[in-house]
């Protein structure tokens, strides 16, 4: 088992990643298996700190959820009853409205917290704190 220490540089990350790949099929409970577990956790921590995955934008998230649940843009727009066009939101031509967000949550299952996070993080939607 090698001397395991925190990963602080890109070089250390690459070396740890290479070692993780060589240990991938180690038996749990063995020294190699424990080394794999520790290094995999350190690699995860390094990636979390230095290579964060950005939150999806509103349009991508809506498209994903509609597709996953089998909804079409015209079908969803029919639910809105003329109160908006989800296709325009996806295209960036219209802002997401509260009725749209509520229907996305209730009918499609889009988590409301995700809609709020992606809307608040959108540059056009940011408002200065007063």
**Are the C-beta atoms of residues 96 and 115 closer than 8 Å to each other?**
yes
Length of the chain: 130
pLDDT digits (tens, 9 = 90+) for 66-118: 898 898 989 888 888 877 788 998 888 888 888 888 888 888 888 877 777 65
Report the candidate in 112, 113, 103, 110 with the shortest Cα–Cα distance to residue 83. 103
Residue at 25 is within a domain? yes
CB atoms within 10 A of CB 112: 12
Q: Give the residue numbers spanning the domain of 75.
A: 58-123
Kindly state whether residue 130 falls inside one of the protein's structural domains.
no
Tell me the pLDDT of the chain averaged across its residues: 82
Q: Are residues 62 and 111 in the same domain?
A: yes
Per the structure, the count of domains in the chain is 2
Task: Please tell me whether the overall predicted TM-score, pTM, comes out greater than 0.85 for this model.
Answer: no
């Amino acid at each position: 088992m090698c001397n395991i220490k925190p990963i602080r540089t890109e070089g250390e990350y690459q070396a740890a990643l290479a070692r993780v790949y060589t240990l991938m099929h180690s038996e749990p409970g063995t020294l190699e298996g424990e080394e794999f577990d520790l290094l995999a956790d350190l690699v995860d921590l390094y990636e979390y700190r230095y290579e964060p995955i950005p939150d999806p934008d509103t349009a991508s998230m809506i498209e994903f959820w509609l597709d996953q649940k089998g909804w079409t843009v015209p079908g969803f727009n029919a639910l809105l009853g003329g109160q908006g066009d989800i296709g325009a939101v996806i295209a960036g031509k219209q802002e997401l409205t509260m009725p749209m967000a509520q229907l996305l949550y209730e009918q499609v299952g889009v988590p409301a917290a995700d809609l709020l996070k992606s809307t608040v993080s959108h540059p056009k939607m940011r408002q200065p704190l007063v």
